[in-house]
Amino acid sequence: MAKMSYKSGLPVAIGNKIYKTSQTRGADKDTIFQNRVLRNSTVLIPFRTWNKGAILLEEGFENGFIVLAYPEEYFEEIANDTSQNLTLGENLLVFYETRKDWLTYPPQKFGWDYAKSRTSPLLGQYCARVPDTTSETDQDIRIGFTNAASGGQGAGIRVYEYASKTTLELTRYQLAYLAWRTVGMYDLAISEGIATPEIYKAHVDEFCANNNLIDVQRLEQSRLIKDDITVCPLCLKPISAIELGSRLEQAEGRFVPDLTVTGANLFHVNELRTGLYNHSIYNLGWGHHHCNTVARDYGISPTIEWMGQVLTWNGYSITKE
Using CB under 5 A, count the residues that bind Zn ion: 5
Distance CA 275, CA 277 (A): 7
Determine the 3-state secondary structure of 292 from DSSP.
Answer: helix
Q: Considering only CA atoms, which of 26, 33, 43 is closest in space to residue 163? A: 43
Here's the x/- map for Zn ion, 229-268, by CB under 5 A: it reads as ---x-xx---------------------------------
Q: Which stretch binds Zn ion (CB under 5 A): 41-49, 196-204, 215-223, 286-294?
A: 286-294
- The answer to whether residues 285 and 222 touch, using CB atoms and an 8 Å cutoff, is yes
Angle between the 197-210 and 165-179 helix axes, to the nearest 10 degrees? 140
> CB of residue 269 vs Zn ion: minimum separation in angstroms?
13
Angle 137-116-83 (CA atoms, 0-180°, nearest 5)?
A: 100
Q: Which stretch binds Zn ion (CB under 5 A): 65-73, 126-134, 227-235, 248-256?
A: 227-235
> CB of residue 252 vs Zn ion: minimum separation in angstroms?
20
Residue 288 in the binding site for Zn ion (CB under 5 A):
yes
The count of other CB atoms within 10 Å of the CB of residue 156 is 25
Q: Which is nearer to Zn ion, 38 or 304 (CB)?
A: 304
Q: Which stretch binds Zn ion (CB under 5 A): 95-103, 105-113, 140-148, 289-297?
A: 289-297
Q: Which is nearer to Zn ion, 10 or 232 (CB)?
A: 232
Strands 284-288, 264-268: parallel, antiparallel or unpaired by DSSP?
antiparallel
Strands 126-130, 92-96: parallel, antiparallel or unpaired by DSSP?
parallel
Angle 77-83-84 (CA atoms, 0-180°, nearest 5)?
A: 55
> CB of residue 291 vs Zn ion: minimum separation in angstroms?
3
- The answer to whether residues 206 and 316 touch, using CB atoms and an 8 Å cutoff, is no
> CB of residue 299 vs Zn ion: minimum separation in angstroms?
15
Distance CA 118, CA 292 (A): 32
Q: Which is nearer to Zn ion, 39 or 288 (CB)?
A: 288
Q: Which is nearer to Zn ion, 181 or 288 (CB)?
A: 288
Counting Cβ atoms within 10 Å, is residue 137 exposed (0-12), middle (13-18) or buried (19+)? Answer: exposed
Q: Considering only CA atoms, which of 97, 119, 100 is closest in space to residue 31? A: 97
Q: Which is nearer to Zn ion, 69 or 291 (CB)?
A: 291
> CB of residue 139 vs Zn ion: minimum separation in angstroms?
45
Q: Which stretch binds Zn ion (CB under 5 A): 52-60, 117-125, 175-183, 281-289?
A: 281-289
Q: Which is nearer to Zn ion, 57 or 236 (CB)?
A: 236
> CB of residue 231 vs Zn ion: minimum separation in angstroms?
8
Percentages helix, strand, coil for the chain (3-state, rounded to 5) are 35, 15, 50
> CB of residue 303 vs Zn ion: minimum separation in angstroms?
11
Per DSSP, helices labelled H in 52-196 are: 71-73, 99-104, 165-179, 185-191
> CB of residue 279 vs Zn ion: minimum separation in angstroms?
20
- CB-based closest residue to Zn ion: 232
Q: Which is nearer to Zn ion, 127 or 234 (CB)?
A: 234
Q: Which residues bind Zn ion (CB under 5 A)?
A: 232, 234-235, 288, 291
